[in-house]
A and B are shown apart, each in its own frame.
Chain A
Amino acid sequence: AQKITQTQPGMFVQEKEAVTLDCTYDTSDQSYGLFWYKQPSSGEMIFLIYQGSYDEQNATEGRYSLNFQKARKSANLVISASQLGDSAMYFCAMIAQIIFGKGTRLHILP
Chain B
Amino acid sequence: GAVVSQHPSRVICKSGTSVKIECRSLDFQATTMFWYRQFPKKSLMLMATSNEGSKATYEQGVEKDKFLINHASLTLSTLTVTSAHPEDSSFYICRGGRGSNTEAFFGQGTRLTVV
Residues on A lying within 8 angstroms of B by beta carbon are: 2, 27-33, 44-48, 50, 52-55, 61, 95-98
Question: Which residues of chain B in 85-105 are interfacial with respect to chain A, using CB atoms and an 8 Å cutoff?
Answer: 91, 93, 105
A-B contacts, 5 listed (Cβ < 8 Å) = A44-B43, A47-B38, A54-B9, A54-B108, A98-B106
Most buried by A among B1, B5, B40, B93: B1
Q: Within the assembled complex, what's the spacing in Å between the Cα atoms of A46 and B40?
A: 8
A78 to chain B, nearest CB (A): 18
Interface size for B (C-beta < 8 A) is 21
CB neighbours (8 Å) of A45 from chain B are: 43
What is the minimal beta-carbon distance from B77 to any residue of chain A, in angstroms? 16
* A32 vs B105: C-alpha distance when bound (angstroms): 10
User: Does the CB pair B4–A48 fall under 8 Å?
Assistant: no
Chain B residues, Cβ within 8 Å of A31 = 3-5, 107-108
Give the distance in Å from the alpha carbon of A53 to the alpha carbon of B108 in the complex: 7
